Structure formats: structure tokens, C-alpha cells
Amino acid sequence: MSPAPAHVIRDDADALAAASRLAEGAVIGAAERDRNRVFPRVELDRWSSSGLGGITVPREFRGADVSFATLAEVFATVSAADPSLGQIPQNQVGVLAVISEIGTAEQKRRFFADALAGLRFGNAGPERTGQRMTDMTTRVVAGADGLRLNGQRFYSTGALFAHWIPTRALGTDDRPVFVFARRDAPGVNVVDDWSAFGQRTTASGTVTFDNVAVTPDDMLPLHAMADRPTLAGPVSQLVQAAIDLGIARAAVADAVAYVRDQGRPWIDSGVDRASDDPTIRHGIGHLSTALAAAEAVTRESAETLDAIAAEPVTPESSARASVAVAEAKILTTEIALEAAETLFDLAGAGATRGTHALDRHWRNARVHTLHDPVRWKYHLLGNYAVNGTFPRRHSWN
């Protein structure tokens, strides 16, 4: 179940070039994969062999440790071609960040080597039955035959295609741990029951752990991060914003292309081409401006993270990172949704035909942007600005 040997990316320029090459291939057939719910298995293998899965590995472990600005651009580039392909490996970034924060030297050596070799780290996300996303019944228990992992998780993006499936669980002392189980280990069952109308090929469904054998070397003490200021949450959110930015880029590009090549002007415009209709030009200009703003703020937020990461992270700097990324998340969410909707207003009824598959942009934007609600981003920013209240530290901030 191991992939072909992966290219080891050496620097930021190498990473950006690899993302561009991957996107050029992934955009071919992306609409058909969405329409027929065909998983991007070939494209994921190309992702693995490209070396993009290891670009955040620290340099001391032979990784490129690219800037956050480069990381965001990599995910935006790939997501503009196929946002499901962009979302599937998103959790790997967060997983490697946790390993970097609290992993032992041996765990870092082991898991970073796997990432550089092209192995994919999936995710077994929040439980479906609790009142809150953080409620947890999944646990590691000790028995005569060693440690065993039991539980059921949902929103498990990437698990179906992974080599390692990390998940949160309660340890034998009832404190939270991060547990790594092999995708092909006995007792690991990944169920493709993801039925959302967008991001259809992410297979973000259920993972069940039934008496799965694990060892202490497969576990990280998440409780050790409870009171430690880190950039784990902001980095996770930056990747989410980059995926939405990619969806917005694709929607705006398709709006421009349709208007220019196939659109018709409104009868009262007095012009012969849709591209000469002043209201359509205004609409495209508005979308282009909003997209440029989202691009700029996403880049600025990534550069803020780069500056903060260059020094020891403090509660104050961790809060600034969350605030910076919240601004990007708001703008990328809003332009992704607006562009995907306004596309049809500018292009006209003909653009709704199924052969064009342009509805996928709105469906993908609407589903992915629900990962964390923008209304709470506004709350976070307002509370910080007015009251000086630091955002709570978790994966969604």
C-alpha cells in the first residue's frame, strides 16, 4: 500500500512549480469526476509522487519547510483545478504540525520520513453523535493483548485514500491523545457514506476503529498542547481559506470565459456582444476586485504567520495569527460564494445547462465554507478589536 517514490521538494519555487504541474493535469476531467462522483485516485497518486505532501516537513528532517505564503498558494492553485483534490490532503498539514510540536524525536523521524516518501495522512474527524464537535467517546484501552483503539468518527476527509489515519481519542488516563492507525490495519473500516451536494469526491465519511492494535509510539499527548500557544489552528485555517480562494479563482475564470465566448448581451443593452454589455462588465469588474482583495489578504495573513513563526510563539502572537487568518477566511468565503452565484447572473440561463457543469463551483463553495462559520469569524474579529479578547485556541481558529 505504499506509493511510488516521491520527489523530495527542496524549496518554495520547487513547491510552486509542482503545484502548477499537478493543477494542469487535475483540471482535466474535474467536472466529470464531480458529476459522476469519480474519486481522484490518479491525481492523488500524482500529488504523492510530486512531493507536495512533505513540503512542511522541517529542514532538519530533509523537508523544504516552505513558507506559509507558499503553502497557501500551493493549496489555492490545486483547488482552482479541483477543490476536492485540494481538500483531501488538507489535514496532512495539520497532522505534521502536531507531530512537529509534540512528537518525540523518533516519532518525528518516522512520520516525517513517511510524508517525504509520499505516504498520505488522512483524518478521522469529529464524532457524529455528540452535542458538540469536541465531544469524544473514541478511546484507547489497555488489555491483556496491549493497547486497543475503539470508536467511530465522521468528517474523515482523506481517510479513504490514506496510508495513515490519525484521530483524536481519550487515552488510558482519560486525557486526549492523537493516535495513528494504518489504513490497512485489522479493525480499521472506512465507509464511503459522504453524500453532501458539494466536494463530492472527498469521501469525507465515516471511519470505525474496532479493537485496532496501537502502541505508545503511535500516540501523541494532545493534552500537552492544551496550554501551549501554537500556530496549529491558524495554519489549519489558512489552508481552508486557500481552498476557498481556489474555488473563487475557478468561478471567476469560468464567468469571464463564458461571457467572452458564449454569453449574449441583454436586449436593452444596444450592443452585439456580451463582453460589451456595460452591466456585465461592471459585474466582472466587481468580482475581479473582490477576488483581488481576497488574494491580497490571504497573502498578508500567510506572511503574518511567517513573521510570527520566526520567533517563539506567545499567547499574543498566536492571537494575532488567528485574527489575521480570520480576515482571510471571511474574504475567501464571501468571494467564493458570490462568484459562484453571480456567474449565472452574468452568463445567463444558458450557463445553467448541465453540460457546462458550472453549478459545481457554488456547490463546492457552499459545502467547504461550512467547515467553520464566517459569522463566528466576524465575532472573533469584533471581540478582539473592541475588548482585546484573544480567540480561543483550537483547529477552527
Domain locations in the chain as residue ranges: 12-116, 139-224, 232-387
Count Cα neighbours of 211 within 13 Å in the Cβ-side half-sphere: 3
CA-to-CA dists, residue 44 to 3, 48, 89, 242, 346, angstroms: 10, 6, 9, 18, 34
**Cell numbers at 118, concatenated:** 509520499
CB 333 within 8 A of CB 374: yes
- 82, exposed or middle or buried, with CB in 10 Å at 0-12, 13-18, 19+? buried
State the pLDDT at residue 267: 87
Q: At what angle do helices 105-116 and 90-102 cross, to 10 degrees?
A: 160
Domain 139-224 has CATH 2.40.110.10: yes
Residue 171 CA to its chain's centroid (Å): 27
139-224 shares the fold of 12-116 = no
Walk along the chain (397 residues) and give the pLDDT tens digit of each residue. 566 678 999 999 999 999 999 999 999 999 999 999 999 999 999 999 999 999 999 999 999 999 999 999 999 999 999 999 999 999 999 999 999 999 999 999 999 999 999 999 999 888 877 666 567 889 999 988 999 999 999 999 999 999 999 999 999 999 999 999 999 999 999 999 999 999 999 999 999 999 999 999 999 999 888 888 999 999 999 999 999 999 999 999 999 999 999 988 888 888 888 888 999 999 999 999 999 999 999 999 999 999 999 999 999 999 999 999 999 999 999 999 999 999 999 999 999 999 999 999 999 999 999 988 999 999 999 999 999 999 998 888 8
Could you please state the CATH topology (level 3) that the domain comprising 232-387 is classified under: Butyryl-CoA Dehydrogenase, subunit A; domain 3 (1.20.140)
In whole angstroms, what is the distance from residue 79 CA to residue 372 CA? 18
Question: How do the residues of the chain divide into helix, strand and coil, expressed in percent and rounded to 5?
Answer: 55, 10, 30
CB 192 within 8 A of CB 281: no
CB 359 within 8 A of CB 241: no
**Cell numbers at 78, concatenated:** 490545486
In whole angstroms, what is the distance from residue 371 CA to residue 79 CA? 16
Can you list the alpha helix ranges (DSSP code H) found in 9-145?
12-26, 30-36, 41-50, 68-81, 83-87, 90-102, 105-116
CB 25 within 8 A of CB 43: yes
Could you please state the CATH topology (level 3) that the domain comprising 12-116 is classified under: Butyryl-Coa Dehydrogenase, subunit A; domain 1 (1.10.540)
Q: Tell me how long the chain is.
A: 397
